[in-house]
Amino acid sequence: MTNKNSKVFVAGHKGMVGSAINRHLENLGFSNLIIASRDELDLTNQKDVKTFFEREKPNYVFLTAAKVGGNHANNEYPADFIYQNLMIESNIIHSSYINKVQRLLFLGSTCIYPKLASQPISETALLTGTLEPTNEPYALAKIAGIKLCESYSRQYACDFRSVMPTNLYGPGDNYHPENSHVIPAILRRFHEAKLNNTASVEIWGSGKPLREFLHVDDMASACIYVMGLSLEKYQSETEVINSHINVGTGIDVTIRELAETIKAIVAYDGTIFFNTEMPDGAPRKLSDVSLLKRLEWQSSIKLREGLELRQNQKANGNVRIPYLDILDFSILTCMRIGEVCKLKWEDLNREHKTIIVRDRKDPRKKEGNHMIAPLLGDSFNIVVKQPDNNDLIFPYNPRSVSAGFQRVRNDLGIEI
């Protein structure tokens, strides 16, 4: 992928991994990215995919599109998971062959490995034992995707590759209360518990299972790196039959450790209840990433760092808390964080560049201490550049903002 004008199709560009790959490609200067929404292209429809490939003729394809979900969703919709994923993979891989795509990268999942595989799990563990029953239909579809890539490469000399990511998290994740993966599910529970002053947060299972987590930006970096490897380099480190590559950190944590870390980051004061009546899933899932390291790539974002980045985003995954804006505004206006986070658009006077600050703290009078504050220096510009989609100018929990500042101070060793 040395030609930045190459036509690159990211199938599933609105998903967590697909959007991350798109961002990385744009940052690298790729200017000919092909995208298509679900309304524009049904990837489960063979005719639609065939027509799309004949028209667009992509040079490279990242096959990130998939139907995904957590344990609950896999239990409830097994037919949807196996059918939709098989159709997406078959249609895209076959059309890539027919239209002479130079290189394709298929994204699977480490759920392809046996439930009781030796740890850490190497690529050679594929098809050596029984799968975890919870997500077996999804795993079988992903195994089929690997074998499709291998079979087309063997029979037709295609350059179709596969990578198997561990558990992913980061921007664009799914926060659905029932269908989300473990990190967004736990983040949501702690966030809502903090907002609602709930005394305890329930976590399914014993908390003992070990899991590995990879930030989606690291995953995007790995995908582009593997796609960019020369065919000679790729083939020198992979097998003809087991040609897939694990992508992970090589480090795991217990669900209990994960929950306690998220609890600390969210600054939740309640307790954690582990519901042992709910299933744990596989006891441990850790990727052997030695192959990827031999190919000279490894992850760079540590779990706590990635979780803090994730927490600093709103639940829709698109808007970060503007810490620098809030800090600069607070300094310029001499307002407390709690006051900044209560400012309303209706109290802003754009003509005079002033704003009403309501209920300022005063030992003589606790309520009704309203005052008109001038927005001096750059403070007015900071306000007007905020998105006007809420009654509040800075619609963030002041405790979360303060906790974010506190974490940075702690990391820098600043005492106040």
User: Which residues are designated catalytic?
Assistant: 138
Cα–Cα distance measured from residue 51 to residue 47, given in angstroms and rounded to the nearest whole number: 6
Cα 224 to the center of its chain, rounded Å? 16
Cα–Cα distance measured from residue 101 to residue 124, given in angstroms and rounded to the nearest whole number: 28
- Please answer whether residues 370 and 358 qualify as being in contact, where contact means their C-beta atoms are separated by less than 8 angstroms: yes
Q: Looking at this protein, which amino acid is placed at residue 411?
A: D
Terminal CA-CA length for the chain:
50
What lies within 8 Å, CB to CB, of 377 at 6+ separation is 332
* Of 125, 149, 284, 313, the residue nearest 212 (C-alpha): 284
CA-atom Rg of the chain in angstroms: 24
Residue with tokens 């990190």: 183
DSSP, collapsed to helix, strand or coil, labels residue 363 as coil
Give φ, ψ of 203 to 5 degrees. Answer: -120, 130
DSSP-assigned states of every residue in 378-404 = THHHHHHTS---SSBSS-S-HHHHHHH
Cα 278 to the center of its chain, rounded Å? 25
DSSP, collapsed to helix, strand or coil, labels residue 58 as coil
* Of 383, 221, 385, 244, the residue nearest 297 (C-alpha): 221
Cα 192 to the center of its chain, rounded Å? 20
